[in-house]
Structure 1
């Protein structure tokens, strides 16, 4: 059996993209050549690695078993090549990470830029989505690590507390409850502008609110903090977001905070990675950099 690096690279690219044509572009091969390489790999392993669902290829159990092994092998080869290159003494390469909305926009974007300015041969790609999408990206090996606002209970994922955060309930400055401390019952029947299903912010708030029998009633739903803030400014209802996202509007008095007795909205952000995947040199360096840059000891 002679498995080639080209076959493993094509396999990993197909696993990431779900399509042979897209995978071929990722590894600079023609589609026929990529398809042939994948067929040769399956023939040598005497196993099918994907199931076709519509126009996409999805890993089956055999493919899922191979993916972490292939990724690890390709990473080791890349490390060898870098170590013996003229710039081998410098940190270099690409890092793919995923982050939920608040973390990605308000913490990781600036961290990635600062990291790449310090390590000029690196590129950190930050994909921003909701927490569930981040978990899926890590499970599918599209991202070496993820940063999420909610919990992850998948046994394949390693989870570490990474940073602290606080959610704030806010409203239009002219709202009767603006700036007040109220009982949970005072918010009964109030309309809410909420994040989408799968959002860590949404899940954390709803669970905390329901423990106090607040039963928040969703009137509008948006997938970005900016859309939620704009809706609240228009008087659409109450909102709840990370204080990281509200600093500017609160300082300008464009929005106002409502404090609720007994409602604890302090939470942790988490860093996640697949248990079958080791950190690359650039991944480990980025974790250490963020710890200092953001003071993430928590």
Structure 2
């Protein structure tokens, strides 16, 4: 059996992107050549590695078994190339990371731009989604490192505290509770505009609210902070988001803040990686840069 490096690269790219066409762009091959390399690998292993669902390819049980081995092999080859490259520049190449919405939009997007301006041979692809999606992306090796707002208890991942943040309960500036300190009962029966299931912001707030027996009446649910803010501006209900996402609007007095007694809304951000994955020099360099750039 002669498995080639190209076959391994194709397999990982398809696993990461879910489509042959997208995978071909990641590894600079034509779509037909990518499809052929994948077929040859499955033929050599005498097993299917993916199941097609709609227009996407999803790893089956055999594919999930193979992926961490392939990732380790490719990382080993990359380490060899880095070690013996005459003009060694570890801060080069492509880095794939995932981040939940607040972290990605308000911390890592600007960090990635600044990093790549300083290290012009590097590129950083930041996939922004909710916490649940980020965990899944790191678990399946689509991302080398993830940054999340919610908790993660999956034993396959290494989780470390990274940064702190504070949530704010906010409302239309003409709301009768704007800029007031209230107790839990005063907001318990009011309508709320919430983030979607799987959101770290939603998860943290709901846990904190339940500690005070607050049962938010969820009138609207959206998958982005901007949609939540727009709904609150229109009087759709109370909202709760990271202070990071509300900075500009609060400075313009577009919203009022409601201070709820004993509601603990300071939270921890986390950085996660797969326990079977070792950080590349590029990933390590980017994380060190972020800590300095963001004054962590």
1:175 aligns to 2:175 (yes or no): yes
Partner of 2:47, secondary structure, is coil
> In structure 2, what is the equivalent of residue 214 of structure 1?
214
Is 1:56 aligned with 2:56? yes
Matches within 5 A, 1:3-18: 3-18=3-18
Kept after mapping to 2: 8 A contact 1:83/1:89: no
Distance verdict in 2 for CA 1:54–1:234, change over 3 Å: closer
* 275-284 vs 25-34, which moves further: 25-34
Partner of 2:243 in structure 1? 243
CA distance in structure 1 between the aligned counterparts of 2:131 and 2:11, rounded to whole angstroms: 26
Aligned-partner Cα distance in 2 for 1:42–1:212 = 55
Query: How big is the shift at 1:44?
Result: 2.9
Over 3 Å counting, the alpha-carbon distance change for 1:226 and 1:53 in structure 2 is closer
2:129 corresponds to 1:129: yes
Point out where structure 2 has 5 or more consecutive residues left out of the alignment: none
Once the 2 structures are TM-superposed, how far is the Cα of residue 212 of structure 1 from its aligned partner? 1.0
Rounded Cα–Cα distance in structure 1 between residues aligned with 2:8 and 2:165: 40
Structure 1 position 276, deviation (Å): 1.4
Listed as ranges, the matches of 1:111-260 within 5 Å are 111-260=111-260
Instruction: Point out the more displaced range, 46-55 or 137-146.
Output: 46-55
TM-score normalized with structure 1 length: 0.93
In angstroms, what is the RMSD of aligned CA positions?
A: 1.7
| CA shift digits 1:19-75 (9 cap, x unpaired) | 334323433334443333223223333433223334432222222122122122223
Say if 2:101 and 2:129, in contact at 8 Å, map to a contact too. yes
Tell me what 2:284 maps to. Answer: 284
SS at match of 1:74: helix
Equivalent positions of 1:38-77 (< 5 A) are: 38-77=38-77
Q: Distance in 2 between matches of 1:90 and 1:198?
A: 35
Note if contact 1:191-1:237 (Cα within 8 Å) is conserved in structure 2.
Answer: yes
1:272 corresponding residue in structure 2: 272
**Distance in 2 separating the partners of 1:106 and 1:61:** 36
Q: CA, structure 1 residues 72+192, in 2 after alignment: closer, same or farther (shift >3 Å)?
A: same
Distance 1:102 1:59 in 2: 29
